Amino acid sequence: MKHFLAISDLSSGEVQDLLDLAIKLKEEYFKKGNPPYFKGKVLGMIFQKPSLRTRVSFDMAMRHMGGDALYLSPNEIGLGKRESIADIARVLSGYLHALMARTFDHAHVLELAKWSEIPVINGLSDYNHPCQGIGDALTIQEKFGKAKGLNVAYVGDGNNVAVSLMHVCAKLGWNFTIANPEGYDLNPKAVEIAKENAKETGIKLTFLRDPHEAVKGAQVIYTDTWTSMGQEEETAKREKVFPPYQVNAQLVSEADKDVIVMHCLPAHRNQELTDDVADGPHSVIFPQAHNRLHAQKAILARLFGVG
State yes or no: is 292 an active-site residue: yes
258-261's contacts with Cβ under 8 Å and 24+ in sequence apart are 258/219, 259/215, 259/218, 259/219, 259/220, 259/221, 260/139, 260/140, 260/143, 260/219, 260/220, 260/221, 260/284, 261/221, 261/222, 261/223, 261/285
Q: Tell me, what amino acid is at 157?
A: D
Minimum distance from CB of 175 to ligand NVA (Å)?
22
Residues 141 and 168 sit within 8 Å (Cβ to Cβ): no
Q: Rule CB under 6 A: is residue 124 a binding residue for ligand CP?
A: yes
Return the one option of ligand NVA, ligand CP, none that residue 52 interacts with (CB less than 5 to 8 A, by type): ligand CP
Provide the mask over 39-58, with x wherever binding to ligand CP is found by CB under 6 A and - wherever it is not: ------------xxxx----
Query: Of the listed 53, 106, 292, 302, which one is catalytic?
Result: 292
Q: Does 272 bind ligand NVA (CB under 6 A)?
A: no
197 lies in the binding site for ligand NVA (CB under 6 A): no
Position 159 contacts ligand NVA (CB under 6 A): yes
Calpha distance 141→161 (Å, rounded): 18
- Residues 6+ away with beta carbon under 8 Å from 287: 139, 142
Alpha-carbon distance 239 to 8, whole Å? 31
Q: Which stretches of 39-169 are assigned E, i.e. beta strand?
A: 42-47, 68-72, 98-102, 120-122, 151-155
Q: Which segment (17-25, 30-38, 87-95, 261-269) binds ligand CP by CB under 6 A?
A: 261-269
Q: Is it true that the peptide bond before 266 is cis, omega within 30 degrees of 0?
A: yes
Task: Please report how the helices 188-201 and 12-31 are oriented relative to each other, as an axis angle in degrees rounded to 10.
Answer: 90
Residues 64 and 297 sit within 8 Å (Cβ to Cβ): yes
Binding partner of 228, given ligand CP, ligand NVA, none, CB within 5-8 angstroms per partner class:
ligand NVA
Do 101 and 92 form a contact (C-beta atoms < 8 A)?
no
Residue number closest to ligand CP, CB atom: 54
- Please pick, from the candidates 121, 161, 163, 293, the single residue that binds ligand NVA as defined by CB under 6 A: 161
If binding is defined by CB under 6 A, does position 284 make contact with ligand NVA?
no
Among 57, 151, 160, 197, binds ligand NVA (CB under 6 A): 160
Q: Measured at CB, which residue is nearest to ligand NVA?
A: 228
Vertex 241: Cα angle to 235 and 244 (nearest 5): 125
Q: Answer yes or no whether residue 296 interacts with ligand NVA by CB under 6 A.
A: no
Q: Compute the least distance from the CB of residue 85 to ligand CP, in Å.
A: 21
Told to check if 229 binds ligand NVA by CB under 6 A, we report yes
Quick one: which segment of 32-40, 148-156, 259-267, 276-284 binds ligand CP (CB under 6 A)?
259-267
Q: Which is nearer to ligand CP, 51 or 180 (CB)?
A: 51
Compute the least distance from the CB of residue 46 to ligand CP, in Å. 13
Which residues of the chain form contacts with ligand CP (CB under 6 A)? 51-54, 124, 132, 264-266
The residues annotated as belonging to the active site are 102, 129, 132, 224, 264, 292
